[in-house]
Amino acid sequence: MHEHEGDCCDVSCVRTEGLVLVSVKDGVATVTLNRPDKLNALSAEVLGELFLAIADIEADAAVGAVVITGSTACKRPSFAAGADIAEMVEFTGLEMREHSRLGQRTFAMLEAMSKPSIAAVNGFALGGGCELAMACHMRFAADCALLGQPEINLGIIPGFGGSQRLPRLVGQGRAFELLLSGDPVNAAEAHRIGLVNRVYPAAELVAAAQEFATKLAGKAPIARDAIVDVVLRGTDAGPEKAQAIEADLFGLVGGSDDVKEGMKAYLEKRTALWTGR
């Protein structure tokens, strides 16, 4: 039995062993990085399992939102202490590029998932760990969390999308500061600069993230998915193209039964019953 074991063991995305565990409860999949002896460092094997876990979660109709966290069995609280340095030290340049592409593909799939995701950053989120947190749609952190991109101290650069997501989240100046110094920030500072959405006492973090995710999982599924889509696709489009994407999705969502149900329920002063059609 693993951490956060849910009450819903017949759903298809559940994983009870391996380097990436998945439990499901109340429509929320909790993904736990499970490599405690290495502070959940993201080896190619971990990334491979994470890729498959995300694909399963995306395909599982019982799941409406996702929480990602790190095993609590680490000797110090860790979300993920980065890409696996012991593995990378042996890589050639071409293998480094392949590794970067594996991480990028995995995190891009997570970001593009139609179900909202929350990183519950329960400790160290360094290098690839911070990049994984940034690929989630939201980040909640424990008060003991430490986030950063220390790659420069190893003579490398972020390779799992961090050089691009960090400036989009905190602005170019702050991103340069973090990327060029390699210095981590604590949870309070990460919150101040917009790197994390919320900060909780460590013992309350995962439950708080799961509670919020449960709320999101209960929202109108078509509108929820479209909101994720429009924000992601609009962010890098020019303003005119982004507005066009919004109007198209507004129309697409507007044709659903759920829109009629949502508006009728409002007018009839009752709770809407979403069907996802």
The residues assigned a catalytic role are: 131, 151
Q: What is the DSSP letter of 103?
A: H
Shortest distance (Å) from residue 134 CB to ligand COA: 14
Which residue in the set 31, 34, 54, 84 belongs to the binding site for ligand COA (CB under 6 A)?
84
In the complex with ligand COA, the residue whose CB is nearer, 151 or 258, is 151
Residue 221 in contact with ligand COA, rule: CB under 6 A: no
For residue 36, give Cα distances in angstroms to 74, 108, 116, 140, 245.
4, 25, 26, 20, 42
Residue listed under structure tokens 């110094």: 181
Shortest distance (Å) from residue 124 CB to ligand COA: 5
- Rounded to an integer, what distance in angstroms lies between the CA atom of residue 236 and that of residue 173? 19
Shortest distance (Å) from residue 178 CB to ligand COA: 13
Which residue in the set 12, 76, 176, 207 belongs to the binding site for ligand COA (CB under 6 A)?
76
Site string for ligand COA, 10-39 (x = CB under 6 A): ----------------------------xx
Q: What is the largest CA-CA distance in the chain?
A: 65
Size of the site for ligand COA (CB under 6 A): 16
- Of residues 96 through 125, those in contact with ligand COA by CB under 6 A are 124
Shortest distance (Å) from residue 143 CB to ligand COA: 17
Q: Which residues contact 179 (CB under 8 A, 6 or more apart)?
A: 149, 151, 152, 157, 158, 162, 163, 166
Beta bridge partners of 142: 200
- Of residues 36 through 75, those in contact with ligand COA by CB under 6 A are 38-39, 41
Strand blocks (E) in 105-169: 117-121, 124-126, 138-142, 146-148
Site string for ligand COA, 132-151 (x = CB under 6 A): ------------------xx
* Token pair of 248 as six digits: 């198209």
Shortest distance (Å) from residue 84 CB to ligand COA: 4
* Token pair of 217 as six digits: 């999982």
* Token pair of 82 as six digits: 């980065």
For binding to ligand COA (CB under 6 A), which residues are involved?
Answer: 38-39, 41, 76, 81-86, 124, 126-127, 150-151, 154
